[in-house]
Structure 1
């Protein structure tokens, strides 16, 4: 039995396409979705088009990580063999579950499998995770490749893994909840592997989280510490947890310097590194 877990906010059309692609392939899949206060008719669409989907009301302030945590916590009340994470803006390919299951079975279901996601034109791998060897985005391969930092767009988690390490850490608001979960697995001897081929298409997110341009100092730090930014307390928590106190302090100091400097100085030092792409 499979439980799919999603969170959504004001992406009605994309959410609908995602679920349509899921039910086309897995018509009997149980779906748990957190609707985090959508105002675009998403909730009505879910009830009308997918009456069997279990919709959990969010507070409007959950964002991705806490929305996924909320849906997953509800799904734990059932008895499932696998938990399938889905971003609501992906469209799944017909072979997606076959590929996830194949990669999982290679490791006797004692692993997490993250699916490669490509753009709509099938030209670029957008998500999946960074390679444990190269620390660059994993590319299609003849064999599954071990992942260092996992992206949570399409992920298969066996119940045995959940029993060992639990679910997403609710301390994370939006960003880093997926990366943290993958690192927790690796630290507990559970490999994270990427699929051999893309399993869905999605959309790029080229917004720079760590710095806002063309605003004053106060606005820059306000944006940095918003859920859709890169909050210092979240970064400190994440890096201390996985890399130790000193690296956490150093990274937060780096983010602070990056936002203290004026725009011209950042461009002079780092070029377009921190510009929206």
Structure 2
């Protein structure tokens, strides 16, 4: 059984599109688990009327991505189907997928197991525009190399013409097939230190350190609503918001969150943290200077 876990909050239109895709999969042994974290825009009613077969679990608006996902994972683990290999598939509601999507993830898992099977993502408005295709993470120097840019020049065609699989050093929660044994061996997502961002990265780094490969197939495509992505650290971000983001608990550049990651998963610890924060700050101000 594959339990597709989707945390949602006040994005009814996107949630509807996402679930509609997932109900059309060629694989039949699927249970969709939606964790509705206190939506007030009619998402709950839409789920009940339009997707009656989905399991809907409710939160009070304080779960955010990490605990929302954990709620769905716990449900899955408690409802494992005997005599079957059971999986959790994490995905976000600002995505769409084709009907063979889950089948392609299963094929990747079968070919490379024991592993976590990840996805490439493209812009839903420009499907040739490659957004994610794995990353290389140097646990000494904090250097992050995103292969969509460095190896494939943000071209999905370049990806498909170059390779039929990619080994990555981490995976985002946006389309990852995880066998139950991974949770049994390393635990759930770390809610205490990664409330909303980086929990998926930390979890998959932890899985790799436990001996699981992180493998991506070009055929496992997630169509991403790029405009729905949260805080973007680009030249348009005001300095005040950037500074707030460095300390905000729900920010992708939160320093305490990155401190915990550096102390628990990297080779150089404090040096890694210093290099990581320097990379973020320097990159931001260089983008600002280019506007002058």
CA contact (8 A) 2:235 2:288 kept: no
Deviates more, 1:83-92 or 1:138-147: 138-147
> Are 2:232 and 1:228 aligned?
no
Alignment of 1:16-27 (within 5 A): 16-25=16-25, 26-27=27-28
How much has 1:14 moved relative to structure 2? 1.0
Select 2:147's aligned residue among 129, 137, 140: 137
Q: Distance in 2 between matches of 1:252 and 1:131?
A: 14
Corresponding residue for 2:176? 155
Following superposition, the deviation at residue 47 of structure 1 comes to 0.9
RMSD of aligned alpha carbons: 3.0
Residue 73 of structure 1: CA displacement?
A: 1.8
Measure how far apart 1:209 and its partner are.
4.7
Normalising by structure 1, report the TM-score: 0.83
Equivalent residue number for residue 35 of structure 1: 36
Equivalents in 2 of 1:151, 1:56: separation in Å? 22
What does 1:110-129 align with in structure 2 at a 5 Å threshold?
Answer: 110-120=114-124, 121-129=126-134
Q: Structure 2: state its 5+ residue gaps.
A: 139-143, 149-158
CA contact 2:134–2:167 (8 Å) conserved in 1: no
Q: Which moved more, 1:138-147 or 1:13-22?
A: 138-147
Q: Which residue of 2 aligns with 1:164?
A: 185
User: What is the CA–CA distance in structure 1 between the aligned matches of 2:238 and 2:264, rounded to whole Å?
Assistant: 33
Structure 1: give runs of 5+ residues left out of the alignment.
260-264
Q: In the TM superposition, what whole-angstrom CA distance separates every residue of 1:184-224 from its partner, at most 9, and x where no partner exists?
A: 111111100111234231122374359984454xx654343
| TM-score, structure 2 normalization | 0.79
**How many positions carry a matched residue from both structures?**
264
SS in 1 for 2:168: strand
Tell me what 1:50 maps to: 51
Cα distance in 2 for residues equivalent to 1:43 and 1:225:
32
| 2:153 equivalent in structure 1 | none
Contact 1:96-1:199 within 8 A present in 2 as well? yes
How far residue 19 of structure 1 moved from its aligned partner, in angstroms, is 0.8
Query: What does residue 93 of structure 1 align with?
Result: 98
Q: Distance in 1 between matches of 2:61 and 2:251?
A: 13
Return 161-170 or 11-20, whichever deviates more: 161-170
CA offset digits 1:10-38 (Å, max 9, x no partner) = 11111111111111114552122211121
For 1:119 and 1:220, locate their aligned partners in 2 and report how far apart those are by CA, in whole Å: 25
Distance 1:67 1:266, change over 3 A: closer
Q: 2 CA distance for matches of 1:137 and 1:274?
A: 24
